[in-house]
Chains A and B, each alone.
Chain A
Amino acid sequence: MTDFFKLHFFVPLAAVLGLVVVAYVGVQANLQLLFGVVVPYMAALIFIEGMVYRLIQWTRSPVPFRIPTTAAQNKSLPWIEKNLGEKLDNPETTKHVVGRMALEVLAFRSLFRNTRTELRQDPDHPEGARLIHWSYKWLWLGAIAFHYAFLVVILRHLRFFTEPVPGFVYLLDSVDGFLQFFVPVVYLSGLVLLVAAGYLLLRRILRPELRYISLAADYFPLFLILSIAITGILMRYFYKVDIVAVKDLALGLATFKPKVVAGIGVIFYIHLFLVCVLFAYFPFSKLMHAPGVFLSPTRNLACNSRWVRHVNPWNYPVKFHSYAEYEDKFREAMIEADIPVEKES
């Protein structure tokens, strides 16, 4: 274990545990107003303002060149046809750029590219190996599971913040909770989130090359999300809290009529506090990859720079060796070699 790893692993771990303690102590000290109202509003404010700030920061820098990664055949002669996949991997029109981005955001297209080949014994030709081509999708699967579970969990939480609860949330609830034989109903998304985040964490710790590159900024969000998931699950299945009271509090926050509701267990405040930290931390962290991916110039531009001019706002004239200078230097030799010149002498 290197000192580098210790620093980057244990400090964030301690930080998250510290946050848990802060919330616990705070609620014991009857600071419900702070943890139930003030902190959530502050977190929301930081989240929104931070996000806007960062987006402005990014968009203030222009995209001088059209540099999309061309992952398939470019537009060419009319008879060179492209199937839909190729059109999305090398988009020529805005429509296809949207398609490419949708695939990236919704299906993590680029992660999906991880193909592997293997030489395996070929049953038909025992002496020769055969090439097997397959896809290595563990990271993709882990990432997809993690993100979709996260999304579902967030959407399900809407039932606390809305009244009446929109229909799709019920729908989501029933699909997510189809494991009806347990009481209370077990939500799959929470478990998937836990397992997938756990996988992403283990991967980082166990694979030496990933451990080498991982920083505190990578462990901290994982610890945070894991603890949010764990406290959530504890709250739901083990240390039950008063759901009606929680909804009261949440609705109050959502309708800007905040109130302190008595009788909610401390575990809830820990959960809420961690969520607030996550939101406040979001704009200043690598979690900004979520909005960032939409701005990525290697993905969000059409590959049309040969037939639509792309303008660089800060393009400036440069000095280059002009033909006149060139001819001045080589005129005699050029004349002797029968190369046409502008001025005969």
Chain B
Amino acid sequence: MKLADLLSQKKATILERWLHLLLDSYPSETSGFFKKEKDPFNNPLAFRLSQGLQGVYEALLQDTARERILASLDDVISIKALENFSPSQAVAFIFLLKPVIREELATELKEAQLSEECLEVESRIDGLALLCFEVYMKRREKLYELRINEVKNQVSGLMRRTGLTLVTPQQ
């Protein structure tokens, strides 16, 4: 069997393990709730993370449009970028997929041919990781932009009144 097939076969278990690993970074009193609660509206954080991971995983298995990959990565990173974690913490999640796959497919991977394919998958993960930095930077920029916009909005009425316009660097 090919690795790609194995990966799609085990998709559900791998995704769950990956998500749980990610949720373990929250205080243990809370991670249990995050894992258990399936209501997307009462548990938006885990919901968004799991949507993102799913999208990323799919991108690993088949060719996906760049925007879609970025959007999936963003689902996760948009949350991580707020958590006062360092950049490395915000993008670490993507690397966690490697040990999850290795452990989940431990026996299958012993076949020599598969482990070669495995290297390929892992380098795709590295590629995704590079994209993560882009997404992370976008999110941090977004935060600055929102800060500026908020200040702008507070006086925007006045600005219109006086016929002035403020231009933020990004725009």
- Direct interface between A and B, CB < 8 A: yes
A residues near B, CB below 8 A? 116-119, 207-209, 211-212
CB within 8 A of B32: which of A116, A117, A119, A209? Answer: A209
Contact flags B29-44 to A (C-beta < 8 A → 1, else 0) = 1111100001111100
Which residues of chain B are within 8 angstroms of A212 by Cβ–Cβ distance?
29
CB within 8 A of B42: which of A116, A208, A211? Answer: A116
CB within 8 A of A208: which of B29, B38, B41? Answer: B29
Which residues of chain B are within 8 angstroms of A118 by Cβ–Cβ distance?
38-40
16 A-B contact pairs sorted by A residue (CB < 8 Å): A116-B39, A116-B42, A117-B39, A117-B42, A118-B38, A118-B39, A118-B40, A207-B32, A207-B33, A208-B28, A208-B29, A208-B30, A208-B32, A208-B33, A209-B30, A211-B29
Which residues of chain B are within 8 angstroms of A117 by Cβ–Cβ distance?
39-42
Which residues of chain B are within 8 angstroms of A211 by Cβ–Cβ distance?
29
What's the least CB distance linking A233 to chain B, in Å? 33
Instruction: Give bound CA distance, A212 to B39, whole Å.
Output: 23
Which residues of chain A are within 8 angstroms of B41 by Cβ–Cβ distance?
117
Instruction: Give bound CA distance, A207 to B29, whole Å.
Output: 8
Instruction: Give bound CA distance, A57 to B3, whole Å.
Output: 71
Instruction: Give bound CA distance, A207 to B40, whole Å.
Output: 20
What's the least CB distance linking A283 to chain B, in Å? 32
Instruction: Give bound CA distance, A119 to B40, whole Å.
Output: 7
CB within 8 A of A209: which of B29, B38, B39, B42? Answer: B29
Instruction: Give bound CA distance, A211 to B33, whole Å.
Output: 12
Which B-chain residue is minimally distant from A134 (CB atoms)? B39
What's the least CB distance linking A11 to chain B, in Å? 21
CB within 8 A of B33: which of A116, A119, A209? Answer: A209
What's the least CB distance linking A119 to chain B, in Å? 5
Which A-chain residue is minimally distant from B32 (CB atoms)? A208
Which residues of chain B are within 8 angstroms of A119 by Cβ–Cβ distance?
40
Contact flags B7-43 to A (C-beta < 8 A → 1, else 0) = 0000000000000000000001111110000111110
Instruction: Give bound CA distance, A207 to B30, whole Å.
Output: 10
Which residues of chain A are within 8 angstroms of B30 by Cβ–Cβ distance?
208-209
What's the least CB distance linking A38 to chain B, in Å? 45
Which A-chain residue is minimally distant from B51 (CB atoms)? A119
Which residues of chain B are within 8 angstroms of A116 by Cβ–Cβ distance?
38-39, 42
Which B-chain residue is minimally distant from A206 (CB atoms)? B32
Instruction: Give bound CA distance, A165 to B40, whole Å.
Output: 54
Which A-chain residue is minimally distant from B42 (CB atoms)? A116
Which B-chain residue is minimally distant from A129 (CB atoms)? B40
Which B-chain residue is minimally distant from A119 (CB atoms)? B40
Contact flags B136-171 to A (C-beta < 8 A → 1, else 0) = 000000000000000000000000000000000000
Which residues of chain A are within 8 angstroms of B42 by Cβ–Cβ distance?
116-117
Extra A-B contacts (11), CB below 8 Å, given A117-B42, A118-B38, A208-B28: A116-B39, A117-B40, A117-B41, A119-B40, A207-B33, A208-B31, A208-B32, A208-B33, A209-B32, A209-B33, A211-B29
Which residues of chain A are within 8 angstroms of B33 by Cβ–Cβ distance?
207-209
Instruction: Give bound CA distance, A178 to B56, whole Å.
Output: 58
What's the least CB distance linking B99 to chain A, in Å? 24
Instruction: Give bound CA distance, A147 to B38, whole Å.
Output: 29
Which A-chain residue is minimally distant from B28 (CB atoms)? A208
Which A-chain residue is minimally distant from B37 (CB atoms)? A116
Instruction: Give bound CA distance, A212 to B29, whole Å.
Output: 7
What's the least CB distance linking A111 to chain B, in Å? 16
A-B pairs, top 7 by smallest CB distance, nearest first, are A212-B29, A208-B32, A116-B39, A209-B29, A208-B29, A117-B39, A117-B41
